[in-house]
Amino acid sequence: MWPFDNNNQQVYQQYSQAYDSGNYNGFDPFQALGHITQFMQGAPIDTQHNLYRQHFEQMPYEQRAALVQQMPPEYQADPNDTNSLAHNFLRLGQERPNLLQTIFSHPLLLGASVGLAGLIAKHMLSRHQQHQQQNEYGNQQFGGGYNQGFQGEYQQNQYQQQNQYLQQEVDQLRREEQELRRELREEEQQQPQHHHHQHHHNQGY
């Protein structure tokens, strides 16, 4: 579920409507997990963190507690602290996405994966609409003899500026993502060493 794919617009709308109504019947939780994994691998880190926090804030306490229990010890957080829960869930998605299926197989959490996929779909649809509106707005100005004296020059510059702006946004997000990854690595290095060796040992099998 990232980046936006016009061919999947109907799927996004179905998930988004399910999220609004709270009715997740008929959705396959494991298919929803596939969408979540795609989002985890493609979306900017800050977008992910904000959506996870929003999702956990709306989750009943029992579900948050079950989620924390299912997560490996090094990712566990206080079920009442949605910010740290979002942070650890984000780390888990970056470092060990293969565990998501096990975590969401818990009876209390089966619907939660569909709920999270719904929230992601809702975010993507509204983001897509904003982009479309911005483009339409740009085109109206473009066709409306905007700033008559500079019109020829303006037409050439407008798309360059939009591209530059988008490029700056992308660069900024990349920098933030690298910064977060660096922090995560530092956190891991600060953990007790025996814990670390054991982790590598397990991966070897």
Res. 70: pLDDT tops 80: yes
- Residue 41, token pair as written in the block: 């691998």
pLDDT, averaged across the chain = 83
User: In this structure, are 73 and 172 located in the same domain?
Assistant: no
201-204 CB contacts, 8 Å cutoff, 24+ apart: none
Please check whether residues 168 and 94 belong to one and the same domain.
no
pLDDT beyond 70 at 189 = yes
pLDDT value of position 21: 93
Q: Residue 148's pLDDT is what?
A: 47
pLDDT at 200 over 60: no
pLDDT average, residue stretch 152-158? 51
What is the predicted pLDDT for the residue at 205?
A: 47
For position 150, what pLDDT does the model report? 45
Rounded CA separation 39/93 (Å) = 10
Number of domains in the chain: 2
Q: Which domain holds residue 107?
A: 6-123
With a cut of 60, say whether residue 144 has pLDDT above it. no
Do 69 and 22 share a structural domain? yes
More confident: 182 or 11: 11
Q: pLDDT category, 90, cuts 50, 70, 90?
A: very high
The DSSP 8-state label assigned to residue 102 in this structure reads H
**Residue 117: pLDDT above 90?**
yes
The answer on 65 and 14 residing in a single domain is yes
Question: 168: which residues sit within 8 A by CB, 6+ positions away?
Answer: none
Within 10 angstroms of residue 29's Cβ, the number of other Cβ atoms is: 18
Length of the chain, please?
205
pTM for the whole structure:
0.66
Q: What is the rounded average pLDDT of the residues 81-91?
A: 97
Mean pLDDT over 176-181 rounds to: 80
Are residues 65 and 113 located together in one domain of the fold? yes
**DSSP at 74:** G
Q: Are 59 and 89 in contact (CB under 8 A)?
A: no
- Nearest by Cα to 56 from 46, 44, 68, 45: 68
pLDDT above 90 for 38: yes
Instruction: Looking at the structure, tell me whether residues 18 and 107 fall in a common domain.
Output: yes
Are 68 and 169 members of one domain?
A: no
In which band, very low, low, confident or very high, does the pLDDT at 187 lie, cut at 50, 70 and 90? confident
